[in-house]
Amino acid sequence: MQRTRLSILFDELGDQLSLWLINPWRRVSLVIISLLGGYFAAVALSAIAGQAAIQDVTVSLFLVLGFETVSWLVYSRRWRDPELIRKVPKPLWLDCLNSIKLGGLYALVVEAFKLGS
pTM of the model: 0.77
- Give dist(CA 108, CA 1) in Å, integer: 45
Domain assignment present for 17: no
Query: Does residue 90 have a pLDDT over 80?
Result: no
Domain assignment present for 84: yes
Domain count, the chain: 1
Structural domain span for residue 110: 24-116
Task: Please give the residue that has the higher pLDDT: either 33 or 14.
Answer: 33
Domain assignment present for 1: no
pLDDT in tens, 70-86: 999 888 866 666 666 66
Quick one: residue 33, left, alpha or beta (phi over 0 = left, psi -120 to 50 = alpha)? alpha
